[in-house]
Amino acid sequence: MKIARKLQILRQEGWLANHNGDVASAERLYLEAHELASELPEEAALVCNILADFYCDQKQFSDAERFARQGLAIRETLDSQILVGNDLMMLAMVLEESGQLAAAEPYAQRGSDIYEMQYGPEHSEVHRMQSVLARIQTALQRDVGG
């Protein structure tokens, strides 16, 4: 079986296991996909993003941050600003969830800027990114003021 097909199956089975509440199986499948994807940068970045989201949902923020940073580092070597924007926002949201608002803000700003440059200011994805940034900035102002 081709590696790309095997990765797709592992990701799908991981999603299904997670959806059905079998967190241990989901984690095992996602980590297997991560290991298998090591030679395919685009796939590796995608699996890192999935793992970051998975661990964030599990409140395992150090693992979530590690995979978000790893995925971003891979994406920045590839030629897709939109996907870099996605990974910047993933990292920003992981940092936000873990209470690291000051660390999250520059990633959210950079992700929002990339999306606005790629899509234009009126695109729905730009608005979504800007709402994440605004939420982080509002929380930061509340922390400073309160």
pLDDT at 79: 85
The percent of residues in the chain predicted with pLDDT above 90, rounded, is 89
More confident residue, 4 or 60: 60
Tell whether pTM > 0.85: yes
Q: Which residue has the tokens 């729905």?
A: 124
Rounded to the nearest integer, the mean pLDDT of the chain is 94
Instruction: Report CA-CA distances (Å) from 69 to 1, 64, 93, 124.
Output: 30, 9, 12, 25
What torsion, rounded to 10 degrees, do the Cα atoms 97, 128, 78, 14 define?
60
Work out the pLDDT band at 146, boundaries 50, 70, 90. low
Question: Which structure tokens are listed for 56?
Answer: 């964030």
Structural domains in the chain, CATH included, are 3-145 (1.25.40.10)
pLDDT at 145: 67
Does the pLDDT at position 144 exceed 80? no
Alpha helices in the chain (DSSP H): 3-19, 23-36, 41-57, 61-75, 81-97, 101-119, 124-145
Span 21-36, mean pLDDT? 97
pLDDT one-digit tens code per residue, 93-136: 999 999 999 999 999 999 999 999 999 999 998 999 999 999 99
